Each structure stands twice: as C-alpha cells, then as structure tokens.
Amino acid sequence: MARLVTPSRSALATELEVQRAVWKDTATAPLSPGHSEEEQDVLCAILNAVSDAVEQLLSGVIEREYSEYADGGSQWLLLRHRPIVAVLEVREGTQTLVEGVDYAVYHHLNRLRRLPGGTGHSATVSWLSGTATVWVRYRAGWATQVRDASDQLVAVHYRPGGEAIRQAVLLWCQALWETGPAAYSVQIGATGFVLNRNVGIPPQVQALLQPYRTIVTATAA
C-alpha cells in the first residue's frame, strides 16, 4: 500500500528525524519496521501540521522571496521576515537604490540603514518620509529544504542560530503523538491535520520559539 502523506513544502524537519524523536527509532530509512504505514502517515501529518503552525507563529521559517512596503522618515528600516539572506532590490519613491551606496544591510538587526548615496556627505540621512515610500524585495528565512531527484525531502538545513526551531518542532510532534487524537482533528487531504488550538503549545516549545517571535513594524505589500 502506498503512503498517503509525505512531508510538505513547509516541513521543518524530515520524516526520519521526527520518527527518531517520537518513536526513539534508530532506523536509517523513513520506513520504520515497528510501525504501520498508517501510523507513519499520521506522524507525518502531525509533522506537516506543526510545521505550518510554526511557520505562522514566526511569520515564515523556510527561506523564500518576499516583497513589502515600509514607511520612511527615519534612518533605519525594519524588515518583516528574518533573517535576511539577501536584499534583491530597493526602491525609494521612483528611485532604485544601490546597496553599499544608498543603503547598508545589517543582517544581525534585520534592518536597512539609509546612506547618503553618492553625495560624499557623512551626515545622517533618513528614508523618504511618508507612508509606504520604500519598497524592498529580498530573501529571508531560517531554513532550506533539500529534496532528491524524486522530490523526496532528505534534509532541512538551518542557518546559524535557527536550530532551536527544529528542536521545537520535534518536541511538539512528540507531545501531539503522546496526547493522541484529542490533540488534533480531521485529516485534510494529504497535507496533514488541523491542530486543535484548545490543546495549546507545550511550554517547552513556547520557550524555544519565543526568541524568534519578533515585533513587526514593516507594512507588507
């Protein structure tokens, strides 16, 4: 019988990792000899649901491209998603800006700082004042998926500082599996379960994710 559920595009751990964490399984392949395919589907569905929930809580974990508008008027510009991987394009009003000349990227702060441009002045300058005067296109995210030629998820790589997210996902999956059906509701297609919000997030998972939950001030496009 073919498996019905596979790790989604937003899965924040592999199926092998979640089986090892929940079932304490030391197998080297996702097919666990001690559990049926139905049980494996259920656990994989839990992984997908938890990954989706964490993606929502942290405003994105898997690296992807974003574009957003932000208000000007100050020297600094805070981007919505983190960590910044690369800034692809910045426009201020109708002008396209150049990195290193018109603005600088501060990856550790998740911010852009306005520079004087080619004026040669060292004075502090601000982004063009007004509502949604700056548009930024960039890539951001803590993790990237690695898939093989058959599109199977084989690894999830985290950027430095992001490994606690994987740990939180695996702990949450373990808690849901141990709680049983009371912790999740009906299966939706082949993607996973809708988490039962009445169960809540385990305290240890909350503690691991809290540092990644930042205040957002930029305005999404």
Task: Enumerate the H helices of the chain as residue ranges.
Answer: 15-23, 37-57, 163-179, 203-209
Task: Check residue 189 and give its pLDDT.
Answer: 44
Q: How many percent of the chain have pLDDT more than 70?
A: 81
Task: Check residue 3 and give its pLDDT.
Answer: 77
Task: Check residue 219 and give its pLDDT.
Answer: 40
Residue among 170, 177, 74 at smallest CA distance from 124? 74
By the 10 Å C-beta count (0-12 exposed, 13-18 middle, 19+ buried), 139 is classed as middle
Q: List, run by run, the mean pLDDT of 10-residue segments along the chain (221 residues).
A: 84 95 74 78 90 91 96 94 96 95 93 81 84 97 96 96 97 90 55 62 92 58 36
Q: In a 3-state reduction of DSSP, which class is residue 204?
A: helix
Task: Check residue 213 and give its pLDDT.
Answer: 84
Task: Check residue 207 and give its pLDDT.
Answer: 94
- Identity of the amino acid at 134: V
Task: Check residue 37 and give its pLDDT.
Answer: 85
